[in-house]
Structure 1
Amino acid sequence: MSEAVARAESAAVWAARLADGRLPVNRQAEFEAWMAEDPRNAQVLEEIVDAWRSVEAYATSAPIMEMRQAAMASANRAAPRTRFWRSAGMLQACLAATLVLTLMGAGIWNWLQPTLYETGVGERRVVVLADGSKISLDGDSAVAVSFGRKSRELWLEHGRAKFDVAKDALRPFSVTAGDKVVVATGTAFSVERMKVAVRVILYEGHVAVLEKVGDESRAVSVAPRRNEAPVLAERALQPGSELVMPAGLVASAAPAAVHVSEIDPVQTLRWEGGQMVFVDEPLQAVTERMNRFADNKLTIDGPRTGDLRISGVFHAGDNEALIQGLAAFGVHARKNDRTTTLSLAR
């Protein structure tokens, strides 16, 4: 068997496995090793997926259904009598036919199923992607990744991650967090998905910031200064600054709800080393971040408590130190096996 045929067969097998959904951990490691083994592996796999995509629109049409039924009947008739493949060509033809039939029923073009990188509570992780880009994941965070010929698409499912993007002007690098999309070609930035907001910090380079509204994407604008028109977020967001957008479909339509502020880049990255730095942050946001490193979760009793502004430096997961510090502000803690509820004295 030639190297090209072996490569095509391996790619088809991986495509079929990916069609079944997200790979188990052991298979994912094996798949990543196969992809890294030779750049031609990814190319062949993508060619197979492109071919399947091309027939997707016709998968249930009458002529295709007839072909599927005839091919299945032929395969069933031949199965009892056939023990060996007579040639590599026949093997490839039968494999291709079987895969098309399988994929039309199972939707393999979801190879398409992105690769998920995640961390558990109290865990941090750094991932280097196939293009050389790097993801630094905070605790209890997850990022799904899908690379193609023309784009590099990522989805921040929850938590926070910093992205060091390898330069590739022909393949934009986009990170989607809920209905917000950050697009770059080569830069460094972080995205944090919180309960009430999406936060973007730009460390170097330039990014565009969009909001998905149905099938369309709109550029997000920032609250204007006095007597000035709204400014596009991508212009307002400069290296060393943070963009805060409310969760939900309001950012593009209501610039007043979006704001940009200067930050200390070094301090904002101390979470990568296990320290949490808060500068005039609402307690609601503080507890959400601290909870990524603690099994006993902090909860807030009412908006008055959640709006309390907090500044300080804490070790990730050291909720007891935070509780002790909050006592000076009149915040009481009620603890049970799973949660600790914080409330301001009446």
Structure 2
Amino acid sequence: MQTSMTPLPNTIIEQAAAWHAHLQSGEVSDSEQAAFAQWHAADPAHAEAYTRMEALWANFEQVQADPAKKAVQAVLQPTAKRRSKLAVRTLALAAVVLATGWLSQTQPARVMMADYRTGIGEQRVITLADNSQLTLDTHSAVNISFNDRVRHVELLQGKLLVTVAKDKRRPFIVETLEGTARALGTQYQVTRHRKVTQVTVLESSVEACASKQSSCVTLHPGDATRIHDVRVEPVMVANVPQETAWTHFKLLADDMPLATLLKELQRYHRGHLYVDEAAISDVHVSGVFALDDTAHTLKVLADTTPVVMTQYTPWLTIIRPAK
């Protein structure tokens, strides 16, 4: 297995887990926030450990191991007083156990141990052994498996653009939990949303199939579809420039609901964007927005739309309709 991840000392993983648990408690003072910022900046390994912890817990709701899930939920239950140090240490220990492989077959842990992955706000271009290229979007993860019969890429989360090197002997397959996108020589994009996979074709053709049913459609340039585990939706026309603008760290919006734009921006933004979608449902935006400078994009949106954005910490921005 090829991997881009560097092993981290358990002490740093424990510190990251403890900080993550405390920051989620809602009881962080300004001095504690400053202490966290100092710890985060003190060592690149601290930042990497915290990024991995965020990625792990961002997907923790998918974990199916009930005993582990119940144990963590018990620790997270609010109490009348400040959460005890023992509770935080217990949560830290639970996170360390998860991160070091106890639940190695769960989706969050598999993401952490993927062959290739990107952090929040990061993109990466990977040249494979057959000279095919993968462009990974922010917060994405893949496993690679090539043999004499097939070239196989497993997309665990996020989005990728693949440019396939021609090889008539070996089909190129991108697989997710929902299904597969199979090609011989082409360029196409695969995006994994929650329980839905979208396939968009730029060149040649791709066969998209559901994982649990013999349901397939053939896509040609400019086509797209969405795959569910038991069905494939009818072919639709894709806005290819809009769909692939992310490869240049751009987001193209054409009368896009602001809430939809903020969801996409959240994938690139390290802090949490809290927004009441119903309250801003009538706000739409158009334009070209930067994904590699989310602070600037948020300022532009605050200046040009009828919303108020209040940053409480570097990790929390609340977005409300203007009164």
Instruction: Say yes or no: TM over 0.5.
Output: yes
Question: Residue 24 and residue 324 in structure 1: after superposition, are their counterparts in 2 closer, same or farther (change >3 A)?
Answer: closer
Query: Does 1:342 find its partner at 2:310?
Result: no
Tell me what 2:210 maps to: 211
Tell me what 1:300 maps to: 275
Deviation at 1:335, TM superposition (A): 2.7
Query: Does 1:279 find its partner at 2:232?
Result: no
Question: Residue 191 and residue 281 in structure 1: after superposition, are their counterparts in 2 closer, same or farther (change >3 A)?
Answer: farther
Deviation at 1:145, TM superposition (A): 0.9
Q: Mapping of 1:185-224 within 5 angstroms?
A: 185-195=184-194, 197-213=196-212, 217-220=213-216
Write the distance in 2 (CA, Å) between the matches of 1:305 and 1:218: 41
Tell me what 1:239 maps to: 221
Question: Residue 330 and residue 269 in structure 1: after superposition, are their counterparts in 2 closer, same or farther (change >3 A)?
Answer: same
Q: Identify unmatched segments of 5+ residues in structure 2.
A: 8-112
Query: Does 1:310 find its partner at 2:285?
Result: yes
Preserved contact between residue 211 and residue 230 of structure 2 (Cα < 8 Å): no
Write the distance in 2 (CA, Å) between the matches of 1:296 and 1:171: 42
Question: Residue 317 and residue 297 in structure 1: after superposition, are their counterparts in 2 closer, same or farther (change >3 A)?
Answer: farther
Q: Identify unmatched segments of 5+ residues in structure 1.
A: 1-17, 28-113, 221-232
Write the distance in 1 (CA, Å) between the matches of 2:282 and 2:210: 26
Q: Mapping of 1:117-132 within 5 angstroms?
A: 117-132=116-131
Question: Residue 281 and residue 200 in structure 1: after superposition, are their counterparts in 2 closer, same or farther (change >3 A)?
Answer: farther
SS in 2 for 1:127: strand
Deviation at 1:299, TM superposition (A): 3.4
SS in 2 for 1:269: helix
Question: Residue 316 and residue 117 in structure 1: after superposition, are their counterparts in 2 closer, same or farther (change >3 A)?
Answer: same
Question: Residue 262 and residue 293 in structure 1: after superposition, are their counterparts in 2 closer, same or farther (change >3 A)?
Answer: closer
Query: Does 1:182 find its partner at 2:164?
Result: no
Q: TM-score, normalised by structure 1?
A: 0.54
Query: Does 1:270 find its partner at 2:269?
Result: no
> What count of residue pairs does the alignment treat as equivalent?
216
Write the distance in 2 (CA, Å) between the matches of 1:303 and 1:195: 20
**Cα RMSD after superposing both structures:** 3.1
Larger radius of gyration: 1
SS in 2 for 1:156: strand
Question: Residue 115 and residue 330 in structure 1: after superposition, are their counterparts in 2 closer, same or farther (change >3 A)?
Answer: closer
CA deviation profile, 1:49-83 (whole Å, cap 9, x unmatched)? xxxxxxxxxxxxxxxxxxxxxxxxxxxxxxxxxxx
Deviation at 1:206, TM superposition (A): 0.3
Preserved contact between residue 146 and residue 152 of structure 1 (Cα < 8 Å): yes
Question: Residue 206 and residue 332 in structure 1: after superposition, are their counterparts in 2 closer, same or farther (change >3 A)?
Answer: same
Preserved contact between residue 156 and residue 176 of structure 2 (Cα < 8 Å): yes
Counterpart residue type for residue 167 of structure 1:
K
CA deviation profile, 1:97-152 (whole Å, cap 9, x unmatched)? xxxxxxxxxxxxxxxxx961111122221111011110011122112111122111
CA deviation profile, 1:272-327 (whole Å, cap 9, x unmatched)? 22222223444444223323332123233234546854332111143344434444
Deviation at 1:330, TM superposition (A): 2.5
Tell me what 1:5 maps to: none
SS in 2 for 1:340: strand
Preserved contact between residue 291 and residue 297 of structure 2 (Cα < 8 Å): no
Counterpart residue type for residue 209 of structure 2:
L
